[in-house]
Structure 1
Amino acid sequence: MTLLRSLALAALLSGTALSAAADPVTLRYLPNHGGLAAFELAAELGYYDAAGITLENLGYATGGPETLIALAGGSADIGSAATPAVLNAIAGGNDFVAVFPTNGINDSAQSIFYVRDDSPIRTIADLPGHTIAVNTLGAHLDYVVREALHQKGLPEDAANLVVVPGPQLDQVLRAGQVDVSAFGYWQTTFEGAARQKGGLRAVFDDTDVLGEIAGGFAVLRRDWIDAHPAEARAFVDGATKALDYARSHPAETKAIFARVLQERGENPEVAQYFAGYGVREGGLATTRDVQFWIDILTREGKIAPGKIAAADILYQSAEAPAPATN
């Protein structure tokens, strides 16, 4: 059955909406190094207290695809991944719903591909034959490189991608172990710290390739949403409210980041470089956020034409309007 979904929930945020959960629930998830997901920030701000929603940290994920595997297998309740990874998982038979954009790509928050100052790499056209460090394969940075090369008329596999955890991206680049380090839009803390040291030069960012677009989505299983509609709405409402909080309270958000990173045993100093989530007001998604990648995956033969429609996988509570078309 088609389930039309949308992310335009900001106007609906209220104490009543956030307390709508019928029963206490615990949602298990895998966090990323160096930052907080919007739903983690919501929990820190107390937005889930009245709804009876608690979060259980299962330990760090290497990347979004790992969270989708855990979600599909039932060991986690929340996935969080780049849009093409989500679409590939759905095309593979998983009945997932993209409930809100985790991050957006714009002029203030984007993925940036860095080289050393003395590198001969100046443009995307120089990437073939070189090694690029990314956090994981089959997700956002992987597909940005493929699309960047495609747009230049080059083979999509012309560069060599290797997996490097976020905290080591700066180190491996400066040591000459890779030619390019790609700092994802969710890794602005690590990117800022690396940039502050100097000696690096940005070659391009993903807005150059994709334009302004949602970077990825938080994902729930459709059967969980159907079984817990009030809890699902409260979860999304809290997260989208947190996204707006981060935009209007950047200093306070960085302070929360620093505290939580320290509690996790990470470096709290990187919190000062958090550049925001980059999402539209209210956590709004548009059809293009998903359709752009559907078209690319269809072009690559990974999704059969017409198999997936953006409107079928974007979350919409009963009270919310349909997603914008651009």
Structure 2
Amino acid sequence: MPRTLRPHARRLARTALRAAVTVGLAAVLVACSAASAEEAVVGESGKAVLRYDGSVGQVTFPELAADLGYYERVELEWVGDSTGGPQSIQAAATGSTDFGGAFNGAIVKLKASGSPITSVISYYGSDELSYGGFYTVEGSPITEPRDLVGKSIGVNTLGAQSEFLIREWLSRGGLTAEEIDQVELVVVPPVNAEQVLREGQVDVVGLSRVFQDKALERGGITQLFSETSLYGNFSYGTYIFRDEYVEKNPEVVEDFVQGTARAIRWAQVTPVEEVRARYTKIIEGRGRGENTDLVPYWKSASITAPGGVIAEEEIATWIDWLVREGELEKDRFSPDDIYTNEHNPYANGTYAKDAGPDGEPVEVAP
């Protein structure tokens, strides 16, 4: 079907800001209702209930933490599955959920729009095993940034990580803002991305994790650039809470962070096959009508910092980027205004940086 996705495309230079403003306005509109729900809800177990969005066929680190028994004061309540980071942090900002996660650049924009939120722990990134890339079909005349002027790129959502990375790659390739504005983004669900590229509906497409692996197995595609080619091993996304929730329920947030940090560390130091087996058990036991097809493609936690400790540069990079692009006032924020490692045991002195999930020294498993 010839390029039927184009009506859903937006120009690259405009989309990220609009997405963030939409989230910010939504947060303002429901501020009163969210504020009334800031006191943590206590479940029958006597623990605080944290509502959250999941991901179909996958296990999030909070879900892993709950299954491993790492929470003492927290229990999770799944309310549905998220289609992406912007939706997840919008839900958290408006009080539909209690925490959400997204790309740090989107979180900086959300903060700039006036939403009182704070990042508390990293939850995904890129390393040599787990990363995303941008691909053309073999033989495509597109081999460098300038070749993309007037062309299209398929991404899973607008205003998120892919958009920032694309713009950074184009900028490093010497394109002007006006030229970058001529590169068109098309929203393509990840499950359809490979097919859309091979059928010629887009010129380039973003692929990651299982979808990237399957496409590479079939062959016939060529990588233009990847997340790791731009930033190396890097954590890209964090979980956020509303500031008022943190202020009213500090013990709940502290327990969430320590438990999630330990779950991340467990995944970092545990043999891959054992992690996959645990994920399979969790998915099969939670009764959401899913399958476990994605589990065999899990390769690593994708976060190199022990326990998901947030590094300043992982926030500062996107603040600087937005200032450079004219989308954020200089000195509007510092990284400390946006994130904290206060509750992470691998940052606050509770555990040594080389400790395992129980605080004991451990060697990282292959």
Structure 1 segments (4+ residues) deviating >3 Å: 256-267, 318-322
Matches within 5 A, 1:9-158: 24-48=47-71, 51-154=72-175, 155-158=179-182
Higher relative contact order (CA 8 A, sep 6+): 1
CA contact (8 A) 2:280 2:292 kept: yes
Secondary structure, in 3 states, of the residue corresponding to 2:259?
A: helix
Structure 1 residue 266: deviation in Å?
4.1
Moved more, 214-223 or 170-179: 170-179
2:320 and 2:63 map into 1 onto residues whose CA distance is 32
Partner residue, 2:187: 163
The one-letter amino acid paired with 2:241 is L
- Give distance in 1, aligned partners of 2:337 and 2:237: 16
Query: Distance between the aligned counterparts of 2:321 and 2:288, measured in 1?
Result: 38
Does structure 1 retain, via aligned residues, the 8 Å contact 2:131–2:228?
A: yes
Cα shift readout 1:177-219 (whole Å, capped 9, x = no counterpart): 22222124xxx13222332232322221012223332111111
Are 1:189 and 2:188 an aligned pair?
A: no
Alpha-carbon distance in structure 1 between the residues aligned to 2:74 and 2:293: 29
User: Are residues 1:226 and 2:250 paired?
Assistant: no
CA distance in 2, matches of 1:196, 1:56: 37
Name the CA distance, whole Å, in 1 between partners of 2:184 and 2:68: 41
Q: CA deviation at 1:34?
A: 4.9
How far apart in 2 are the matches of 1:158 and 1:257? 42
Which piece of structure 1 moves more, 132-141 or 274-283? 274-283
Structure 2 spans left out of the alignment, 5+ residues: 1-44, 350-366
1:301 aligns with 2:326: yes
Gap change, CA 1:130 and 1:169, over 3 Å in 2: same
Return the TM-score normalized by structure 2: 0.75
Residues 1:251 and 2:276 aligned together: no
Match of 2:52, as an amino acid? Y
How far apart are 1:267 and its partner, in Å? 4.4
- Report if the CA contact (8 A) 2:191-2:211 is conserved: yes
2:319 is matched by which residue type in structure 1?
I
SS at match of 2:273: helix
Question: Quick check: which has more Rg, 1 or 2?
Answer: 2
User: CA distance change for structure 1 residues 135 and 34 in 2, over 3 Å: closer, same or farther?
Assistant: farther
Following superposition, the deviation at residue 24 of structure 1 comes to 1.3
Structure 2 distance, partners of 1:169, 1:32, is: 18
Instruction: Check conservation: 2:73, 2:255, Cα contact below 8 A.
Output: no
**Does the alignment pair 1:179 with 2:200?**
no
1:304–1:53 Cα change, 3 Å: same
- Give distance in 1, aligned partners of 2:189 and 2:50: 25
State the match for 1:11 in structure 2. Answer: none
Matched, 1:278 2:299: no
Task: Indicate conservation of the 8 Å contact 1:79/1:220, yes or no.
Answer: yes
Match of residue 317 from structure 1: 342
